Structure 1
Amino acid sequence: MAESKPTHLEPSKLGTKAYWDALYTTELSTHASDPTLEGTVWFDDSDAEAKILSYLSPGSDSDSEHSSSSSSSSHPSPSHPHNLSPPTASILDLGCGNGSLLFSLRDDGWSGHLLGVDYSEQSVALAKSIAASRENEDLKSVEFKVWDVLNGPLSDILPPASGGGWDLVLDKGTFDAVSLSSETDSLGRRINEGYGERVLQLLKVGGIFLVTSCNWTEAELQGWFETSTAPNDEKTKLRMAGRIDYPSFSFGGVKGQTISTLCFEKVVVE
């Protein structure tokens, strides 16, 4: 059983906008000098992007548990475990960095509305520069915008005719960074405590939130997003719907992973 509210992380400079602005200013300058250098791919040492692509591939359930995948003899092509359609699914990447995950999804056939947002202007400038440098690729469906995940107006980024929100919301390290901030919200909470509530506002009912973290265990992520994120005014909540398996290690008789990726679905509370 996941505890209702995991213990907060100690604040770090990685939880400040100044840190990320400085990082992406450097990476933007490096990319301008050599377009083949596209900056940091977070969790690359764990092959997280490839794992995420595999998990999201239609018919793939090799790395998932608690999946809703199903098949039928009347459907020769395997269905997607979360009813996502690569040609049409709308995808929002929170804290997009250099855009690497969205570019990988686009290359893998996800050709719907793809939007990456980041509160660092330099991050968005880098992602746009990388997109422009890939002259031989069709990246028209990949968009990047400066937007604050916790405070930006929802009307600025909700897709048109969205049915209430995005089909898929991605987070690869952004919740980690938010969790390292010492800032508090209007209720006096550390700002990461309101992150799940924000995700609910961004998803359509039945939409999927896929979050990858190196700072939180699977049980802690479940605690933050399923257990301690209360149902909103629409009577919806986040329910764990899958996970990605990474190579594990054992230390002192305890088994663990260096990173965790969990999948949550926005469901109506019965």
Structure 2
Amino acid sequence: MSTPSPPAEGNPRLLDPSELGTKDYWNKAYTRELSNHATAPDDEGTIWFDESNAEDAVCRLLDRLEEEGHFERATARVLDLGTGNGHMLFTLREEEWEGELVGVDYSATSVELARRIEEARQLDDGMGVRFEEWDMLVQPPGDWCGRGGFDVVLDKGTFDAISLMPREADEVAVSDVYRRTAEGLVKTDGLLVVTSCNWTKVELCGWLAPEEGNLEFLQEAKYPSFKFGGRTGQSVVTIAFRKKSATLEDHELI
């Protein structure tokens, strides 16, 4: 396995609340996509960060990590946090990931859409995908979590949405709940792979891999960069974190 090199430290900023951080927004969005899918089964809804080809970038990153020995797709258990229409997990099945794939979302209409798409795709018996409704900020994991945790946990914009939630309390506290919950879902030496359009590499590491946590920076996905105002950047980042060790708190969660 490769040796991770930590990025420079940074102080995370706060984002202004947005309707994108509300369950009502996503329920309405997936209700529209359910209606569209019912009318045209080939219409499976929005592919997350499609304009940046983020799904392809994540798959390439996972390919590299598998080559380095972090997991084997034939047996890896994968959890998709904020699964939406489930497209990421369907893509993994197409890429011959044969282990258990689970998608969770706090929007009931999202889960219904993903299940209907799975049915329309007519996946082979034993090679389907499990979709469950779950709010990671307020609910304990269900039986879908199992006892050992997941080899790979994917987040494609869920941390972004949480960062945009209307704040009745300190956002740092909500982000800390996210980090501790995510840590508990990942098995020791397993991976949390987070894709964001709101945070930089340094900021994501500041939120999710503080010294007191159990996650450490491992690798970053490759995206095209652009230059503006003399500075170089990119519109989306994907970071793979590795879980360093298990704690009593983790065992209580899973």
Q: What is the deviation of 1:56?
A: 1.2
Distance 1:168 1:226 in 2: 16
Which structure: greater helix fraction?
2
What residue is the counterpart of 1:2 in the other structure? 9
Q: Deviations for 1:90-111, whole angstroms, at most 9, x for unmatched residues?
A: 0000000000000000110111
User: Shift of residue 53 of structure 1?
Assistant: 1.1
The answer for the alignment partner of 1:246 in structure 2 is 223
Q: After superposition, where does 1:117-132 map in structure 2 within 5 Å?
A: 117-132=104-119
Q: Relative to 1, partners in 2 of residues 1:190 and 1:224: Cα closer, same or farther, differing over 3 Å?
A: same
Q: Which residue is equivalent to 2:20?
A: 14
Question: How many pairs were matched up?
Answer: 239
**Aligned equivalents of 2:116 and 2:73: distance in 1?**
25
CA contact (8 A) 2:160 2:196 kept: yes
Aligned to 1:226: 209
Contact 1:184 1:191 in 2 (8 A): no
Residue 263 of structure 1 aligns with which residue? Answer: 240
Higher relative contact order structure (alpha carbons within 8 Å, sequence separation ≥ 6): 2
C-alpha deviation, 1:2, in angstroms: 2.1
Shift of 1:166: 0.8
* Contact kept in structure 2, 1:182 and 1:190, CA below 8 Å: no
CA distance in structure 1 between the aligned counterparts of 2:56 and 2:202, rounded to whole angstroms: 23
Percent of pairs with identical residues:
44
In 1, the alpha carbon distance for the partners of 2:219 and 2:85 equals 26
1:35 Cα deviation after fit: 0.3
Q: Distance in 2 between the 1:139 and 1:20 partners?
A: 30
Q: Give the aligned partner of residue 150 of structure 2.
A: 166
1:156 is aligned to 2:143: yes
Q: Give the match for residue 74 of structure 1.
A: none
Deviation per CA, 1:52-71, whole angstroms, max 9, x where unpaired? 112212xx3xxxxxxxx6xx
Q: What does 1:58-73 align with in structure 2 at a 5 Å threshold?
A: 60=64
Q: TM-score, normalised by structure 2?
A: 0.88
Q: 1:91 aligns with which of 75, 78, 82?
A: 78
- Which stretch shifts more, 119-128 or 176-185? 176-185
Q: Deviations over 1:68-126 (max 9, x none)?
A: x6xxxxxxxxx632521111100000000000000000110111010000000000000
CA distance in 1, matches of 2:9, 2:126: 40
Contact 1:93–1:116 (CA<8 Å) still a contact in 2?
yes
Cross-structure match for 1:64: none
The alpha-carbon deviation at position 136 of structure 1 amounts to 5.8
Q: Mapping of 1:183-222 within 5 angstroms?
A: 183-184=167-168, 189-222=172-205
Runs of 4+ in 1 over 3 A off after TM superposition: 136-141, 187-190
Q: Any idea what SS the aligned residue of 2:209 has?
A: helix
Tell whether the 8 Å contact from 1:208 to 1:265 is kept in structure 2 after alignment: yes
Is contact 1:112–1:141 with CA below 8 Å preserved after alignment?
no
Q: 1:155 to 1:31 in 2, by over 3 A?
A: closer
Relative distance call for 1:115 and 1:175 in structure 2 (3 A) is same
Contact 1:99 1:127 in 2 (8 A): yes
**Is the Cα contact below 8 Å between 2:78 and 2:100 reproduced in 1?**
yes
Q: Distance in 2 between matches of 1:17 and 1:136?
A: 29
Residue 129 of structure 1: CA displacement?
0.4
Task: Give 3-state SS (helix, strand or coil) of 1:207's partner.
Answer: strand
Q: Distance in 2 between matches of 1:52 and 1:188?
A: 27
Query: How many Å separate the matches in 1 of 2:35 and 2:132?
Result: 19
- 2 CA distance for matches of 1:259 and 1:98? 20
